[in-house]
Structure 1
Amino acid sequence: MSEIKLTRKGLMTRQKILDTAEDIFGEKGYFETSIAEITLRAGVAQGTYYNYFSTKKEVFEELIRQLSSSFRHQIKVAMEKETSFEAKQRAGYVAFFEWLTNHRNLYSIVQQSVLVDMNLYRWYYEKIAEGFIKAIEEAIDKKECKPLNPETVAYCFMGIGQFIGMRWVFWEKETVPDHVFDEAMEIIFNGINN
């Protein structure tokens, strides 16, 4: 859909549709969700929905892009307050896990995207990897970490964040326990050998 300039009220309505879609896609799944259900729960007319999105897939794609942008921004802000590579990474994980407590449906929605649009699914993870790769390259240049392949390390870091968040925040609906966070950081920065 072409970009149109929206009023403040229009932006709020559009965001209300996205927030409602996040809830319903997370609860029921993409294929079981209808535009009618999104509009009914959002309290907007179906015609209003079409002022902002042409299809259900379009709102789904925008939702994933918005969620990705939102948590990446929160991570960036948290990391900017730190100076060392290790402190930045710790702050980034904390920021992600905190953000995730308010967006637990992220896991369900992203996993659905593999069936809805494989390119979107890949984009989501590649976008996250870009930030990690840049930070790892900078750390290698500063001799703050071993000169390993930055992409390999990035995807390892992503896997740790993905599954720690899934296990505690998504499945258990709690915050990541301090001892779990500390052990994950121990593995990242010191490995598992004695």
Structure 2
Amino acid sequence: MSQLSENKMTGLTTKGKKTRQKILDTAEQIFGEKGYFETSVAEITLTAGVAQGTYYNYFPTKKAVFEELIKQLSSDFRYEIKVAMEKEQSFETKQKAGYQAFFEWLVNHRNLYSIIQQSVLVDIELYRWYYEKIAEGFIKSIDKAIQEGECKPLSAETVAYCLMGIGQFIGMRWVYWEEESVPEVVFDEVMEIIFKGLNHKLEG
């Protein structure tokens, strides 16, 4: 991964930071709606209301803004998840809070799904980085839960990708496709599956 973000933010004025963020927000909208290959730098700058020369002060290429956008989106929702989980004590309540924070964040960033899927064709390493970065947080949390006896002693990586898949597809089904929040009943059923499983044992 490049150091573009750190290098470009160093020494920027408040106005410069706002302009840079405006370009990123506009890119998120257009990449999400039209796709990377159908989007031009000219369209991003026109929609953002900045000159092309100004754009190149922050991002040397179209791919550079795409890469930075994915890194920023990843960082933003992982931060929201981290903050939500830190308020809880047990592994179960932490996971529930983390999922809830992600689904709430996703409502205002539905284009995340489209943008991430595009990265398969734009930069496969960036696509892989995105998911591995999410997995790191899950694995750390699962390892801790295993050590404290709150989780079965399974492969933390296997569990992590299973949990990631649940979040991915529940968010896609309701937030991305339906443009709504994940219904409470759906959220409760998801948590039921994660923490109690699917086996149904008849009493008596």
Q: Which TM bucket (shorter chain)? A: over 0.9
Q: TM-score, length-normalised on structure 2?
A: 0.94
**Pairwise CA RMSD of aligned residues?**
0.7
2:174 aligned to 168, 172, 180, which one? 168
Partner of 1:76: 82
Q: Deviations over 1:59-89 (max 9, x none)?
A: 0000000000000000000000000000000
Partner of 1:32: 38
Per-residue deviation, 1:38: 0.2
Confirm whether residue 181 of structure 1 aligns to residue 190 of structure 2: no
Per the alignment, in what secondary structure is the counterpart of residue 38 of structure 2?
coil
Which structure 1 residue ranges, 5 or more long, are not aligned? none
Identity of aligned residues (%): 78
Per the alignment, in what secondary structure is the counterpart of residue 93 of structure 2?
helix
Report the residue type matching 2:23 in the other structure.
Answer: I
1:108 aligned to 104, 114, 120, which one? 114
Question: Which ranges of 4 or more aligned residues in structure 1 deviate by more than 4 Å?
Answer: none
How many residues were matched structurally? 194
Report the residue type matching 2:53 in the other structure.
Answer: G
Instruction: Provide the rounded CA distance (Å) in 2 between the counterparts of 1:188 and 1:133.
Output: 16
Instruction: Provide the rounded CA distance (Å) in 2 between the counterparts of 1:153 and 1:123.
Output: 18
Per-residue deviation, 1:189: 0.5
Counterpart mapping for 1:11-90 below 5 A: 11-90=17-96
Instruction: Provide the rounded CA distance (Å) in 2 between the counterparts of 1:5 and 1:24.
Output: 28
Per-residue deviation, 1:5: 1.5
Per the alignment, in what secondary structure is the counterpart of residue 168 of structure 1?
helix
Per-residue deviation, 1:128: 0.1
Partner of 2:161: 155
Per-residue deviation, 1:104: 0.3
Confirm whether residue 123 of structure 1 aligns to residue 126 of structure 2: no
Report the residue type matching 1:98 in the other structure.
Answer: E
Report the residue type matching 1:142 in the other structure.
Answer: E
Instruction: Provide the rounded CA distance (Å) in 2 between the counterparts of 1:143 and 1:190.
Output: 16
1:192 aligned to 184, 189, 198, which one? 198
Report the residue type matching 1:29 in the other structure.
Answer: G
Confirm whether residue 98 of structure 1 aligns to residue 93 of structure 2: no
Which structure 2 residue ranges, 5 or more long, are not aligned? none
Per the alignment, in what secondary structure is the counterpart of residue 124 of structure 1?
helix
Report the residue type matching 2:39 in the other structure.
Answer: T
Instruction: Provide the rounded CA distance (Å) in 1 between the counterparts of 2:21 and 2:71.
Output: 13
Per-residue deviation, 1:191: 0.6
Instruction: Provide the rounded CA distance (Å) in 2 between the counterparts of 1:9 and 1:136.
Output: 42
Instruction: Provide the rounded CA distance (Å) in 2 between the counterparts of 1:185 and 1:78.
Output: 16
Q: Deviations over 1:25-67 (max 9, x none)?
A: 0000000000000000000000000000000000000000000
